[in-house]
A and B are shown apart, each in its own frame.
Chain A
């Protein structure tokens, strides 16, 4: 029983292929985590890195309180069930299960007790004297599970354990594994490519694609709020219907026009509050996603719906309890090939549809999903990144919502109307503008408050739950952007600073006290070189850098040191910098200075001028390998 922490985990093969990219996750004790994704997405590689069967190229893996990157598999206190069972063929079932316990030199009676107990749990007592080859696939997988549970490990790892079983057995074993999880009270990490397994078993699911984590969430949230088109398409059977279309805001309504079809529907703008206004221009194509059950053929629903489109039925699939009706919103589409007009409808009625018949269907737009065509990321996120507000600037005064704010010297904006983007995490509660809290929802450990300022809706990520009622809020002016005619005329201040540098090994002659006498000794020290200045690297970080980049490349590879504008120290030594100007945001001031690494902005606790020396606080600095784009620290 243990928690796991995966921080910036990478798997990079010698040929440069990245199998796993920047995997970050905190796994709580006793969770049932499922890694799911298509072949080659890196799910098994991640599991094998947790098991210790693959080296971790970069990042930190903790089991409990221990960093286990370099710990042997046998010492990680984990057990693993393999896809192909991996039973020892020359041993009986009893010996197979007892093998790990014997290696750990447990007393014989204890081994016997645990083996018989595991066999009883898994219903394989009568097979204990048999060899694996005398057993069926399902029984072998039980033995494999038995071998894992007798060890009473902290973490159980299961690598596609049911893939080789037939459909019936798979369903049965699925329930048994869930039962086992409830009984053992251990952390389970389960890898599968089958989304049904993932949805039915996991307390949380990690969806992966091409080595990247796409989304980590509960099964229900993944189904209801898929963060991108891939997750939306991967989770759920039949696959979500995706149409292409454009959105056009007309007053308080939005017209949705489906591409390659005559279908047009209208929805209230309130449904798309979280969407960036630039998507509502009637020109930008987006993906519109609707699940098969959110499209109805029921005449009653069609009659009462405001979102009705015509579908030409092509064929259907009878599944017993329900029927999948295939069609096309393009009257000349065939309804068979996967296209942006093909539609699959879950129909629970017994109505008989003839191929070629054109029917009206009702779209349940409450459950619509929309994705950017290029990035495929949701344009209706649960936690929106920004609030989009109309604003105007006149004589250095910004008018937004009901407030008139004098812009600080750092923001010089020409007069005119525009659109202001305020990040949802830039809004804080406190003295400022008045608003009414409409609701506050917990989403993946964050609290999203919906505020009403006059007629306008605002979203704010707040540190704790707040009750509906009146509040006062303010926003961080340095984080806003102002757009005019789609172009950004005011950009938010970048709080992160990237500095190019190197990691160096320095040989020096130092002094050491031996038997009370000072002696000169040759020693090695590790430094960072940034902008011509050298900084001593601590042992732990140096070790990590050498491990990830290899001794041969560690001192020749370009690095990027990433730190916050607040994490610089101004002193007598460090990177030489010449103060260019003071950037005044009113409540905070920053110094813009030119350095050998380029222009750098740092927080100014006082007024600086002329030549100064700046040093990053290395305890808070991230280090990235530049060429391979691997975050090492």
Chain B
């Protein structure tokens, strides 16, 4: 009897070890698949030989020339500035709109609340480019084509539709906190600023990140709106030009260098904000 028990316990431990090994192998494979393109990109950006494809993996000559060319021979810096400006403004506006919409939908009860939420959800499911032509003509009427402001308007216009995840988070913050604060003398606005926002850090970070990354890499709308004015290009539009048949041989390694530079703000932003992704911010507020 005793022996059987020990055997059973041992076999359970063994099974656990096997499972872990399999899991780790799968994870390593996935990581390699994910990281390999970026690794290749960095290597290509440091390649001295021009051209798009080579028959070898590692460069014969290593150089930073591509990075120097990027900032001296191209308009990359302008595009970079444009993209950064658009992304930062969109991030700020969109985060505020999303948070406020989500709070209202989570906490206030008003007529047509549910139909409105459903409508927003359904509208959000349609790809944005379906309305591209219409938006172009509207902006043209307002003389906002080839304008960064116009681009910001396009990006922030549908911000409120991204309420869903944020509202879900607000729903998990106990309503009794709002009620306690309201009895303590707070208005809805004070409750939002002083109680809800400090507790919603993870979702604020999430909103900031998603709001930033979307315009940072967006190509379709910006290429359509900025057509014909390279000084208003965003990085995605500008860099796409380097991959055209006539440019690709000359600019491929510069393109790779640009891609590395483009990834820096997002990586930095993520590393900086990662620490706020801590769990348990609401710990101890109400009985768990």
Contact = CB atoms under 8 A, between A and B. Distances in A.
B164 to A, nearest CB: 24
Contact of B286 (A73, A84, A131): A84
B185 to A, nearest CB: 4
B53 to A, nearest CB: 55
Contacts of B190: 103
Contacts of B182: 53, 72-74
A83 B180 CA distance: 11
Interface string B104-137: 0000000000000000000000000000000000
A87 B285 contact: yes
B184 A147 contact: yes
A89 B280 CA distance: 10
A438 B129 CA distance: 93
A64 interface: no
Contacts of A82: 176, 179-180, 286
A99 B184 contact: yes
Contacts of B285: 85-89, 132-133
B273 interface: no
Given A131-B284, A132-B285, A135-B284, A86 B186 contact: no
Contact of B184 (A84, A100, A133, A164): A100
Interface residues of B, number: 24
A164 B287 contact: yes
A526 to B, nearest CB: 25
B284 A134 contact: yes
Contacts of A90: 198-199, 281
A104 interface: yes
B281 A74 contact: no
Contact of A80 (B174, B180, B187): B180
Nearest to A81: B180
B282 interface: yes
A51 to B, nearest CB: 6
A133 B185 contact: no
A74 B185 contact: yes
A490 B129 CA distance: 84
A137 interface: yes
Interface in A139-173: 140, 147, 151, 164
Contacts of A604: none
A78 interface: yes
A240 interface: no
B181 interface: yes
A79 interface: yes
B32 interface: no
B168 to A, nearest CB: 19
B123 to A, nearest CB: 27
A133 B286 CA distance: 9
Max count, chain A CB within 10 A of own CB: residue among B177, B283, B287: B287
Interface in A79-133: 79-80, 82-90, 99-100, 103-104, 131-133
A87 B184 contact: no
Max count, chain A CB within 10 A of own CB: residue among B176, B181, B284: B284
Contacts of B179: 51, 53, 73, 80, 82, 86
Interface in B192-244: 195, 198-199
B185 A104 contact: yes
B183 interface: yes
Interface in A41-87: 51-53, 72-74, 78-80, 82-87
B284 A86 contact: no
B183 A80 contact: yes
A99 B281 contact: no
Nearest to A151: B184
Given A53-B179, A90-B198, A85 B287 contact: yes
B177 A86 contact: yes
A442 B175 CA distance: 45
B176 to A, nearest CB: 4
A72 to B, nearest CB: 8
A388 to B, nearest CB: 52
A164 B198 CA distance: 26
Nearest to A91: B198
B280 A133 contact: yes
A132 B280 CA distance: 12
A140 B284 contact: yes
A575 B280 CA distance: 69
Nearest to A104: B185
Contact of B181 (A83, A88, A89, A137): A88
Nearest to A148: B183
B287 A74 contact: no
A74 B180 contact: no
B142 to A, nearest CB: 40
A226 to B, nearest CB: 33
A84 B283 contact: no
A549 B186 CA distance: 29
Contacts of A80: 179-180, 183
A289 B76 CA distance: 91
Contacts of B185: 74, 100, 103-104
Contact of A89 (B176, B186, B187, B281): B281
Max count, chain B CB within 10 A of own CB: residue among A53, A79, A104, A147: A53
Nearest to B186: A103
Nearest to A88: B195
B200 to A, nearest CB: 10
Max count, chain A CB within 10 A of own CB: residue among B174, B176, B190, B281: B176
Closest 7 interchain pairs by CB? A133-B284, A100-B184, A132-B284, A84-B286, A89-B285, A133-B283, A86-B176
Interface of A: 51-53, 72-74, 78-80, 82-90, 99-100, 103-104, 131-135, 137, 140, 147, 151, 164
Given A86-B177, A164-B287, 9 more contacts: A52-B183, A74-B184, A74-B187, A80-B183, A84-B176, A85-B286, A87-B286, A147-B180, A151-B184
Interface of B: 174, 176-177, 179-187, 190, 195, 198-199, 280-287
14 contacts: A51-B179, A53-B182, A72-B182, A74-B186, A79-B183, A86-B177, A86-B179, A86-B286, A88-B177, A89-B281, A104-B185, A133-B285, A135-B284, A164-B287
